[in-house]
Amino acid sequence: MAEILTSAQMRAIEQAAMAAGTVSGLALMERAGTGVVAAILETWPALATPAEPPCAVVLCGPGNNGGDGFVVARLLADRGWRVATYLLGRPERLPPDARATAEAWSAQPGARALPSEALAAEDWTGCRAGVVIDALYGIGFRPPLPAAAAQMLAIAGQIVAAHPEGWRRVAIDIPSGLAADTPPPVIPACDLVVTFHREKPVHPPLRAAGLAVVTADIGL
Ligand SMILES: NC(=O)C1=CN([C@@H]2O[C@H](COP(=O)(O)OP(=O)(O)OC[C@H]3O[C@@H](n4cnc5c(N)ncnc54)[C@H](O)[C@@H]3O)[C@@H](O)[C@H]2O)[C@H](O)CC1
Ligand SMILES: [K+]
């Protein structure tokens, strides 16, 4: 049974690896995004060789969880997916690693890097197969969930509800609105949770409730 790490223990391991110079925060973020895409394609292999380009709606929050989301957006667009990111907050206020991945995504030809207010379910009804990526909050989250974030998740739910057979929901690290170190008070609608290095206390109860939880190796 792999050990469970608290968010503080996870941060300490990340900080120690970065302080030792064995890896940068940005490299960890790239590995995280790569692990999320690999988990998506392993979970739904049909998305790896789609008849038509799948869609991805990436909800990016104000921190490094959002930064992971921008890596996922870039990697899926590289695979020919129709991708849009929606940022909750201001780009200039992102932490350095997330700002770097946001800029790398925005620099992609045709990248749709939008503010959260632009998110509209009707923009996505024409896409039969897709993934909503929850990159709003990860281990840095402290309840309660801001209303603007809850609204984004509600709109994402409308997109999935319009095509229940074709759209999936993926949470990066933790379904947003849940704290990392305590059992979840509710089980969110989510088809896949991809966490990093080791599970946190929130993850075993999510799996026990039937959610798919994958732990991606980010080389720590
Ligand atoms: N290089 C790295 O550190 C890596 C991190 N990974 C990913 O980063 C997140 C953790 O990122 P962090 O910036 O610490 O926090 P979050 O993105 O989870 O949260 C963003 C930000 O939101 C603020 N906040 C927290 N709670 C609330 C609230 N209730 N209302 C409003 N705002 C809130 C708080 O200031 C946070 O800073 C981790 O989960 C990974 O996804 C990489 O995976 C590996 C490298
Ligand atoms: K998340």
Q: Please give the number of the atom of ligand 1 that sits closest to the Cα of 144.
A: 29
Mean pLDDT of 64-72: 98
Main-chain dihedrals φ then ψ at residue 14, nearest 5 degrees: -60, -45
What is the pLDDT confidence band of residue 27, given thresholds at 50, 70 and 90? very high
pLDDT at 26 over 70: yes
Best residue among 28, 60, 116, 141 to mutate for probing ligand 1, ranked by most atoms within 8 Å of CB: 141
Query: Which protein residues have a CB closer than 5 Å to ligand 2 (ion)?
Result: 134, 171-172, 176
Dist. CA 21 → ligand 2 center (Å): 27
Dist. CA 2 → ligand 1 center (Å): 23
pLDDT at 98 over 80: yes
Q: What is the pLDDT of residues 156-215, one digit of tens each?
A: 999 999 999 999 999 999 999 999 999 999 999 999 999 999 999 999 999 999 999 999
Kindly state if the Cβ of 32 falls inside 6 Å of ligand 1.
yes
Per-position b or e across 50-86, b if 16+ CB within 10 A of its CB: eeebbbbbbbbbbbbbbbbbbbbbbbbbeeebbbbbb
Best residue among 26, 59, 64 to mutate for probing ligand 1, ranked by most atoms within 8 Å of CB: 64
User: Domains in the chain, please, with CATH?
Assistant: 28-118+128-216 (3.40.50.10260)
pLDDT at 2 over 90: no
Mean pLDDT of 149-154: 98
Dist. CA 67 → ligand 1 center (Å): 9
How far is the C-alpha of 182 from the C-alpha of 10, rounded, in Å?
Answer: 15
**Average pLDDT along the chain:** 97
Q: Please give the number of the atom of ligand 1 that sits closest to the Cα of 32.
A: 43
How far is the C-alpha of 170 from the C-alpha of 70, rounded, in Å?
Answer: 14
Instruction: List, as residue ranges, the binding site for (6S)-NADPHX.
Output: 64-68, 138-144, 173
Mean pLDDT of 139-151: 97
Mean pLDDT of 10-36: 97
Q: Calculate the CA 36 to chain-centre distance.
A: 7
Put simply, whether the predicted model's pTM sits higher than 0.80 gets the answer yes
Q: Please give the number of the atom of ligand 1 that sits closest to the Cα of 174.
A: 39
What is the pLDDT confidence band of residue 218, given thresholds at 50, 70 and 90? very high
Dist. CA 48 → ligand 2 center (Å): 23
Residue nearest to atom 9 of ligand 1 (CA): 65
